[in-house]
């Protein structure tokens, strides 16, 4: 019998000057970038947390503490590949991932396909099982004020 597990992830990072803006493994031209211990890839973090959640393995902070110098400036896709290993070791594969990035600026549409490909490759699944959306919050709240960027993700894992 097929064993299905659902997971949810949510992440926020603050926008500051002097940092690269990396979302879904894509380096996006921007005068501001996301602040964090790693590369602060908010989308990848949300997806990682969704998968960690589906596996009932706690949260991203438990696996990659922001006090650990090994993860300073880390490429989040490399950390995500480790999460993929945790998943495959337990016999699961990704059924699908659906994620939403909430950002007032910049416009993310030109980068969505590359984000999707990066996540699909990292989690060893075909791109048609990964969906990435972007929205604004109509200038409301911290995302609307361009103080930060948020991301939500859900995933379904399958054990055949």
In the complex, the residues that contact Mg ion under the rule CB under 5 A are 11, 45
User: Half-sphere exposure (CA, 13 Å, Cβ side) for 74?
Assistant: 21
Helices of type H across the chain: 42-54, 60-63, 76-89, 112-122, 141-144
Nearer to Mg ion, 76 or 129 (CB): 76
* Nearest to Mg ion of 36, 129 (CB atom): 36
| Residue nearest to Mg ion as judged by C-beta position | 45
Cβ of residue 91: shortest distance to Mg ion, in angstroms? 27
Least separation in angstroms between CB 31 and Mg ion: 21
Q: Which is nearer to Mg ion, 20 or 158 (CB)?
A: 20
């Amino acid at each position: 019998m097929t064993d299905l597990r659902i997971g949810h992830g949510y992440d926020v990072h603050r926008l500051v000057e002097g940092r690269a803006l990396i979302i879904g493994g894509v380096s996006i031209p921007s005068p501001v970038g996301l602040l964090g211990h790693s590369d602060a890839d908010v989308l990848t973090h949300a997806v990682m947390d969704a998968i960690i959640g589906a596996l009932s393995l706690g949260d991203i902070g438990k696996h990659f503490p922001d006090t650990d110098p090994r993860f300073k400036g880390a490429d989040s896709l490399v950390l995500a590949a480790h999460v993929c290993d945790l998943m495959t070791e337990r016999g699961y594969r990704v059924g699908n991932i659906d994620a939403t990035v909430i950002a007032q600026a910049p416009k993310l549409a030109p980068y969505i396909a590359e984000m999707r490909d990066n996540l699909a490759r990292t989690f060893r699944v075909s791109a048609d099982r990964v969906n990435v959306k972007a929205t604004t919050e109509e200038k409301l709240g911290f995302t609307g004020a361009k103080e930060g960027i948020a991301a939500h993700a859900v995933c379904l894992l399958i054990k055949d």
